[in-house]
């Protein structure tokens, strides 16, 4: 069975994006994201791929979910048409499946996810794509990292590792 891990960063109201971009600079979160996903198969939606301006994440297999069978991908991205295809590729590569957004992708994978890694930014910034709060009846919460706002980080933050109850 391939392990499925959702990973995202959000502000206090659940915001993950504004105008097609991630509206903050948060070095600690980028470092955590890179360390956690490096060497793995990552799955993203088409909008998230477009927000990366043709630059795939290095050292990772970049899978892009779309319904568009005619969509051409920039070099370094691989189009997939189903979650089953993502699972098959991760299985072949003996990798975890790291689910890196955006919202519809997280929502599709949440019922079958094994782990959630969520960075909470102490910010009241409001965007146009928002996550629902994690259901604490289903998930056990453990803070694994925290830090203040500083020159490298726009906001104080906590990174929470959720495992199923
Ligand atoms: N803060 C964070 O941690 C974080 C993480 C990731 C992304 N983001 C931001 O979130 C924004 C984009 O996210 P988004 O929620 O609008 O969109 P998204 O999930 O990146 O892309 C949505 C698209 O993915 C495809 N898709 C979704 N579910 C599918 C399925 N089950 N099967 C096949 N294709 C499927 C569809 O593409 P087609 O229309 O081509 O069929 C859909 O229109 C970007 O600005 C990005 O920067 C933030």
Percent of residues, the chain, with pLDDT higher than 70? 100
For ligand 1, residues with CB inside 6 Å are 8-9, 16-17, 20-22, 44-48, 51, 65-68, 100-105, 108, 129
> What is the pLDDT at residue 19?
96
In this predicted model, what pLDDT tens digit does every residue of 67-91 receive, in sequence order? 999 999 999 999 999 999 999 999 9
- Among protein residues, the one with the nearest Cα to ligand 1's atom 37 is 66
> What is the pLDDT at residue 140?
98
Mean pLDDT of the chain: 97
> What is the pLDDT at residue 136?
98
Q: What average pLDDT does this structure show over 26-35?
A: 98
- Which atom of ligand 1 lies at the shortest distance from residue 66's CA? 34
- Report pTM: 0.97
CA distance 89 to 97: 9
For residue 45, the Cα-to-chain-centroid distance in whole angstroms is 10
Q: Quote the ligand 1 centre to 133 CA distance (angstroms).
A: 18
CA distance 85 to 63: 10
> What is the pLDDT at residue 60?
98
> What is the pLDDT at residue 6?
98
Name the domain count of the chain: 1
Q: What average pLDDT does this structure show over 107-126?
A: 98
In this predicted model, what pLDDT tens digit does every residue of 32-55 receive, in sequence order? 999 999 999 999 999 999 999 999
The single residue listed with the structure tokens 């490096």 is: 38
Residue 154 sits in a domain of what CATH number?
3.40.430.10
Q: What average pLDDT does this structure show over 125-144?
A: 98
> What is the pLDDT at residue 100?
98
- Among protein residues, the one with the nearest Cα to ligand 1's atom 38 is 66
Burial class (CB in 10 A: 0-12, 13-18, 19+), 67: exposed
> What is the pLDDT at residue 17?
97
- Which atom of ligand 1 lies at the shortest distance from residue 21's CA? 45
> What is the pLDDT at residue 106?
98
Cβ-contact 116, 60 below 8 angstroms:
no
> What is the pLDDT at residue 123?
98
Angle made by CA atoms 18, 104, 45, in degrees to the nearest 5: 80
> What is the pLDDT at residue 107?
98
> What is the pLDDT at residue 2?
97
Which of 17, 26, 52 to probe ligand 1 with, by most ligand atoms within 8 A of CB?
Answer: 17
Q: Quote the ligand 1 centre to 51 CA distance (angstroms).
A: 10
């Amino acid at each position: 069975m391939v392990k499925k891990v959702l990973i995202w960063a959000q502000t206090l109201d659940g915001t993950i994006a504004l105008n097609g971009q991630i509206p903050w600079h948060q070095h600690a979160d980028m470092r955590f994201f890179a360390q956690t996903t490096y060497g793995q198969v990552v799955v993203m939606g088409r909008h998230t791929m477009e927000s990366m301006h043709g630059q795939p994440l290095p050292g990772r297999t970049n899978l892009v979910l779309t319904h568009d069978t005619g969509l051409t991908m920039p070099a370094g991205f691989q189009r997939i048409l189903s979650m089953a295809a993502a699972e098959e590729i991760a299985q072949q590569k003996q990798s975890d499946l790291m689910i890196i957004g955006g919202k519809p992708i997280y929502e599709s994978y949440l019922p079958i996810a094994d782990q959630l890694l969520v960075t909470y930014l102490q910010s009241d910034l409001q965007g146009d794509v928002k996550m629902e709060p994690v259901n604490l009846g289903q998930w056990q919460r453990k803070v694994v990292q925290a830090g203040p706002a500083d020159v490298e980080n726009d906001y104080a933050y906590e990174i929470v590792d959720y495992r199923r109850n």
